[in-house]
Amino acid sequence: MFRKCKSLLLKSIFIVILCSISSCIYGKNLLEQDKRQAEALMIQGLYEDSIVLCNSILLKDPTAFEIYLIKAGNLFFLKNYYEALSVYNELLKYDSKSSDAYVGRCTIYAELEKYNQALKDCNIAISYNVNAPQPYVNKAIILSRLKRYTESINLYNQAIKLKPDYMSAYINKASTLAQLERHKEALETYNIALKYQPQNKYILYGKAVTLGKLGKQKEAGEIYTQLWDDKTIAEYKKEMERDQKKKSSSNPPPANSPAK
């Protein structure tokens, strides 16, 4: 699941900006304007242009913490993981309790398969923001990769308890259940998620795949028809990935993608 759709957590997800910062040197309104432009460039896939703008902003105001997150996100998409790590480390010099920075750094460590460091950062992020669901999902994904499935599922449940409509938690939980061939439970998970987002195509796609695993080909086919119409599966998957990349600017980068 981790390698197919770098989005949700890539993709699943990717910048959550929780801080509101005002600088007497730079000016809050101008900072907000430039921040939105940097985000827009990233959403368009113009990562290098976004990084140039981020650097310009940080020269004017080195304490514009959310700009570090955007810059690191661009580097993540460019797969410049060690540079992204440096940006997160720089942010932590200014704000040592930034849960977002630890979540982002956890993602990078997971990409580099440095799981012990990734889990450590997840735990720190949780300690600084116990009510944020993202760190629980990141940690759960890493534990799943380490085949610690029971712990992983418990963490997904905890994230869902904190945010009952958190799609990333449902998708990754169902994926883990599928790995264990617990397809009935995976189907139940998708059905609960659909109560919150009945037209979520990632959930619908996962449900269709699960129905197929359970031998319910007719029901699965009805969902595929609803999703794809005259599109091929390959075309639809590419469209999903493009769409998720655009949406990912509103969440920190996940440790995994739910579609992987």
Which numeric CATH code is attached to 98-250?
1.25.40.10
| pLDDT of 15 strictly over 60 | no
The least confident of 14-18, 72-76, 105-109, 162-166 is: 14-18
C-beta of residue 11 within 8 angstroms of C-beta of residue 248: yes
Q: For residue 79, what are its two tokens?
A: 């797969």
Assign 12 to helix, strand or coil.
strand
The CA distance from 177 to 187, in Å, is: 9
Termini Cα distance of the chain: 2
Confidence of residue 229 (pLDDT cuts 50, 70, 90): low
The CA distance from 83 to 98, in Å, is: 18
| pLDDT of 205 strictly over 80 | yes
| pLDDT of 17 strictly over 50 | no
What pLDDT does residue 235 have? 60
Q: Which of 150, 7, 145, 171 is nearest to 77 (CA)?
A: 7
The per-residue pLDDT for range 128-155, each reduced to its tens digit, is: 999 999 999 999 999 999 999 999 999 9
Q: For residue 251, what are its two tokens?
A: 């969440």
CA 149 to each of CA 69, 116, 142, 190, 232: distance values in angstroms, whole numbers, following the listed order:
30, 16, 10, 18, 33
Confidence of residue 233 (pLDDT cuts 50, 70, 90): low
Q: Where are the domains of the chain?
A: 98-250
* pTM assigned to the model: 0.76
C-beta of residue 85 within 8 angstroms of C-beta of residue 68: no
Give me the percent of the chain exceeding a pLDDT of 70.
77
Please report how the helices 65-77 and 47-60 are oriented relative to each other, as an axis angle in degrees rounded to 10: 160
Q: Which helix (H) or strand (E) holds 64?
A: none
The least confident of 39-53, 190-204, 242-256 is: 242-256
What pLDDT does residue 158 have? 97
Assign 30 to helix, strand or coil.
helix
Q: For residue 48, what are its two tokens?
A: 């290098």
Please report how the helices 81-94 and 65-77 are oriented relative to each other, as an axis angle in degrees rounded to 10: 170
The CA distance from 178 to 191, in Å, is: 14
Query: Which of 40-44, 57-61, 137-141 has the highest mean predicted lDDT (pLDDT)?
Result: 137-141
Confidence of residue 29 (pLDDT cuts 50, 70, 90): confident
What pLDDT does residue 244 have? 53
C-beta of residue 8 within 8 angstroms of C-beta of residue 257: yes
